[in-house]
Amino acid sequence: MALTVKHIDDILQPGAEALGYELVAVELSGGDTSIVRIYIDHEDGVTVTDCAKASRQFSAILDVEDPISNRYTLEVSSPGLDRPLAKPQHFQEVVGQNVKIKMSTLIDGRRRFTGELIEATDDFAVVEVDGEQTELPYDEMDRARLVPVYDFDV
């Protein structure tokens, strides 16, 4: 079986749930040594202790399942202000906010879209960029993130 983000997500999902965390997203990158980056969340937020606990859990699961043939570094983190959007539910929760999406294929002659998320269904997101709305299928997205809003008027 080819290594995919979905495969890693499926393997780790029960471990995250057992600890009370939402597994937000899994990212794979690298060459000779891969980086497996996992984002977790919790309704009370995520601390360094939470990341360490999840890292131990995920490491044990990956050791048993052994889905990655080469060496890898495991990183566990909170989603942060520019949280990854990996599931339809993530998009539905941020309709009306700005997002940054990179597509795996060209859509209307481009791969990168940064603009307001107008709509999110179970199959696609609609983003408005420069007054034009574009329907972006989730299964053709390489990466999607929330564009953080910084409020300096504290």
Q: Is residue 23 part of a domain?
A: yes
Domains in the chain: how many in total?
2
Q: Which residues of 90-100 are buried (b: 16+ CB within 10 A; e: fewer)?
A: bbeebeeebbb
Separation CA 128–CA 93 (nearest Å): 17
List the domain range (segments joined by +) for residue 103: 88-146
- Same-domain status, 16 and 59: yes
3 state SS for 40-109: EECCCCCCHHHHHHHHHHHHHHHHHHCCCCCEEEEEEECCCCCCECCCHHHHHHCCCCEEEEEEEEEECC
Task: Give the side-chain half-sphere CA count within 13 A for 19.
Answer: 21
User: Domain ends where: 48, 77, 106?
Assistant: 77
Return the amino acid letter for 114: T
Indicate whether 19 and 66 sit together in one domain. Answer: yes
- Tell me if 104 sits within 8 A of 62, measured CB to CB: no
More confident of the two residues 150 and 106? 106
For position 154, what pLDDT does the model report?
Answer: 62
pLDDT digits (tens, 9 = 90+) for 54-107: 999 999 999 998 888 788 899 999 998 899 999 999 999 999 999 999 999 999
